[in-house]
Structure formats: C-alpha cells, structure tokens
Structure 1
C-alpha cells in the first residue's frame, strides 16, 4: 500500500496543522481525531463521539492522580485536558504544531486545569524528556503522521517507566468483507478487480498526501513494531465499524462550509482529494478498506 506515497516530514505536518487545525477541530467536535459511534442508529454528535473515543483510550490506560501521562501529538488539547480533568493525573502534551500548543494551553486554562495539563512544542521522533519520565502515554491519531512508527515507539518506550503502558490509534489497511475474492474467479473478474484496486490505491494516495499521513500499515504489524521498540502487545482492536462515520460527517460538513466561505489551501486540498459530495454515502455503506485500530502496548517491568 505504500507504493507511490511519500513519507510525511515533521515540519510539513506542523505547518499543515498550524494552518488547518482551527477548521478541522471545528468540524470534528472540538477535537482532532475520529469519533466512535455505537452503530448506524447512534445519533451522537461529533463532540460526543470524539469524547467517547478519548474515554476508551483513557480507560485503557487507567491513570490515577499520582501518575504522569504524556500525550504524543496532543492536537488542540481536548483529549489531554479531558484526561487531566477526569483522572487528576499530570498531563504533558507535545505537538509539532505551534498553533496546536497555543490552543491546547488556552483550553487547559479555560478548563481550570493548567496546573495539571501543559503543552509544549516538540518532535515526537526526538522527545525532549528524560528516560523513565512517564507512567503512561496517550497517542490519539498522531502516529499516523510519523514517518517511522518504530522510531516513535522506541522514543515512547524510552520515556515510559517500566510497567507503564501506551494507548494509541492508527490507520490500517483492511480487507473488507464486501470485497473478499470469490473462489476461482474468472480472468475477467481478476482483471476488473486489479483495475479497481489500482484506481482505489491512486485515490487513497491522494487522500494520504492531503492529510500528510504515512503509508498505511496492517493491524498485524504491531507485533513486530512493539518488539522492535522493546514493548509488549496488550491488545490490538479493530474499531473501523465504529469510526467509519467520521469521514462522512467531516467531509459533508466541510464541503458545505467551503461553498460559502474561504478555506485555507490545506483544507481545499483535503476536499479535492476527498470522496466528493455525491459519494459520501459510500463512506458508511461499505465495509471500510481503510480502518482504525486501538493498540495498547506495555513496557515490561524489570525482572
């Protein structure tokens, strides 16, 4: 899946979010990550759904008031502030976007938890923290922007205390049930499938480029990723059927907004690479080929 897709550069990711994060957060319920819906009948707002996904990851970490948590790729601070408020833990967030950091610290101040939640500009590939500095690490939809997932996980393992855990979300390549190959397909069917696959990969490459994300991986890759970083896999869970409503809601709202308002070039590029208004329904009707996983990893305890 990585063919033809260039790796994101940290400085370009930072510039992208400096320009686009206000609008992205506006149409993603005040956050910068996917929402979690319980099914097609779930009428939760984007804000409720994104908070739900934050809570799922926070609960998997289970931090307490005496814990120190690192939020890697903090966005505008919504999940980090939520974690600090819910658990009483100390939260340190980092982002490659200076605008993210500004908005996140403002949010902590507004929510009255700036004494427990602070955010700073930093590169996740070169974290400015001592070894064994944190009890837990949260990485909500940020590793997707890293050119080297293993390098990031190695940095996380370095700053994580023995026995500490990391909860993250990542984008993955899936094999949709609806697209499963029939037994003994005819030559024509194989040719048609190959042509569709090439078109879909080309379209996906444009979407990935527009969001400055890295090539997709597979859920099974996390076994080797964790091992290379010195971490253990606790769980890898596919939540694609719960998150697939995100793109439909986001793109629909932004397409409509852009008809009547000026948007930054970065947002315009996202819309041009996106599915188009006439194909929005396809995003929630089909089994997603691009999915979302939750991965929970742990640094082994000494001895």
Structure 2
C-alpha cells in the first residue's frame, strides 16, 4: 500500500483496482470526458462510476506528490506548501466554531488528511464520507497511525444520498469535494438535512469565476482540461454555487474567493516555471522524473498498462489549473460559510 513519498504502482495505479483492469478503467474514464464521444450529460448521469474510477486510478499519484491532504491553500511568502495546507484546514475549523466533543462530517474526505488535522486541532469527532473503497481503506490505516481511530471514522456512501438521520451533525465541511456532485442544490440539500438546526456548513469549492467566457475557445479548453484531469462532471460558476446553497435552505454568513488573498499563487506548486525543494515532486524536474519512472515501470510490467495515460491526464490537469489560475478564470478555493436556520428545531 502506498505511503507518502512512494509511488505504489505494482498493486494497481490506485492501489485498489486490479492490475489487469487498469487499462479498461482508463478507457472508460476518458470516454466520459469527450474521448469516443462522451459529454457532460454522461458525466452527470454516471458521476458515481466516473469519480470512483478517477480516484482508483489517481490516489497513489496524489499521495506521492501532495501528501495526505489533496487540496490547495492560500499561501504566504516564506510558508511551505504543507504549512499553508494545515493553516487552511485550521481556518475552516475556526470558521465553523468547532468545540471539543462535537460531531463533525467531512463530505468527500479523500484519505482523511484534513479529517485528522481538524480532529486533532479542534478535539472533535469527525466522520469522513467517501464513496471510494480504496481511499477509505487507506484512510483507516492512516487514522490508526495518527491515533485518531477511536474518535474518527469513515462511512462509504454517496453524498447525494447520505445514510444519516436528519439533524445528526454539529458541523459539516467539504474541501474541494462537492465540485464532483452532478447537482449542487441536491448535494447541499443533503448536507442541510443531516446538519443540526442553527449549525454551520463551510466549504471550499472549485469554480469558474465571472471572468470565464463560455464563448472563448481557450477558456473552454482550460475548463475541459481541469474537468478531465480531476474527475469533474462540470465546473460551476461561483455565483451558481452561492445560489445553490441558498436554494438548499441555508443562510449565507459570508463568502469570498480566498485565492485573491494568497501572496504566493495557489497554483504555484504546479507551475513549471517555478522551482521548490519543499514540493519538488510537483516541479517540472520532479514531474519529468515521475513521468519517466512510470514509463519505465510500465515497460517492465511492474506498473499496469494505462499508468502512463493516468500520468498524462494528471499533467494536463495541472496545466489547465495553472492556466486557469493565471487568467483568473478558475479558483480552487471559493469559500462560503452557511448556517441552517434555528427555526428548523420546531419544524
């Protein structure tokens, strides 16, 4: 099983998917994104299969290059990538006003990096919701290593149909995860349902900004690259997300694109014009090394066939993210804090 700092391709690109099934999974995943005639509606209808295939294929790559927390963060000069990621997670916990002993839900938790950090920072019990079996199994191992397995757990389920009673959680958050939802209103309504009245939901969303022009071919290409490389059915505008959370019944406390506060661009770790020892694997040199390692492992039969294609669409995604960030048509950290009205207590 992969550990941060290693790339475990011998047991399958994603660690869970069987080695002989990787190539067909790559074929199926790419089909959703316009290869062989796929389109946005296919991705929305089949989002569960598409997102599962995506994370089966890429989780080991993510952990190798990014660590346990698969998200971006605003960054200050002199701050490392990992320091900024922890601060971004602490910021979320503070905005939610988490208190020791509270029951918190992490929607789309990945392998649980933020879950563990937020649980330790706030002394809360956090449940991670995830529909990917491999990521859950990996997260459970990491929870044990971190010593939070008694207070934090994982539930395998679709965030469009959560297996929790109404009014279960004291707080809910999502970090760059609900962008996978085929319907933002439906997803936010489920979050609203399981959240206790008077309590808050905080989220970092991936969005296109108002600068995005749907008639601009370059803008459309960048958007498509981000969708392909990140398992997304469609990237919504910031105002569409804000409208969706209101339609779900929430009161918006405040909202802002936090990317504008970053003194070091959020996309800097993937910008090939930059060099960093602290995030070497994400630099041009580091990616060149990884690319050639994957090619060699696949030729030797150690890595499954299709591994190079996974590496390729992840690199294409990085190019799209950097281009979208530089042109300010895309943000990885549109934040809003929303409250479920207290009147729900008597409804």
Shorter-chain TM band = 0.7 to 0.9
Matched, 1:205 2:250: no
Listed as ranges, the gaps of 5+ residues in structure 2 are 1-38, 272-278, 296-306
Q: In the alignment, what sits opposite 1:266?
A: 310
Greater shift after overlay, 246-255 or 213-222? 246-255
> Does residue 57 of the first structure (1) align with residue 86 of the second (2)?
no
Match of 2:268 among 245, 252, 255: 245
1:105, CA displacement in angstroms? Answer: 1.3
Tell me which stretches of 4 or more aligned residues in structure 1 moved more than 6 Å. Answer: none
Contact 1:173/1:217 (<8 A) preserved: yes
Partner of residue 17 from structure 1, selected from 55, 58, 71: 55
Mean Cα displacement is larger for which, 215-224 or 125-134?
215-224
- Contact 2:181–2:187 at 8 Å: present in 1 too? yes
Q: Map 1:6-155; keep pairs closer than 5 Å.
A: 6=41, 7-8=43-44, 9-38=47-76, 42-155=77-190
Q: CA deviation at 1:175?
A: 4.2
Tell me: CA distance 1:222–1:146, structure 2 relative to 1, closer, same or farther (3 Å). closer
- In 2: Cα distance, 1:264 partner to 1:200 partner: 26
* Structure 1 residues 255 and 152: CA distance shift in structure 2, 3 A: farther
Q: CA RMSD in A?
A: 2.6
Question: Paired residue for 2:244?
Answer: 225
Provide the TM-score with structure 2 as the length reference: 0.73
Q: Secondary structure at the match of 1:261?
A: helix
1:154-173 equivalence runs, <5 A = 154-173=189-208
1:257 to 286, 290, 303: 290
Partner residue, 1:187:
none
2:69–2:114 CA contact under 8 A, matched in 1: yes
CA deviation vs aligned residue, 1:159-188 (integer Å, no higher than 9, x gap): 000011111111122245xx9xxxxxxxxx
Greater mean alpha carbon deviation, residues 167-176 or residues 120-129: 167-176
2:329 to 275, 289, 292: 289
Alignment check: 8 A CA contact 1:28 1:46 kept: no
| Whole-angstrom distance in 2 between the partners of 1:96 and 1:246 | 28
Q: Any unmatched runs of 5+ in structure 1? A: 180-192
Task: Tell me the distance in 2 between the aligned counterparts of 1:273 and 1:173.
Answer: 15
Please give the secondary structure, in 1, of the residue aligned with 2:66.
coil
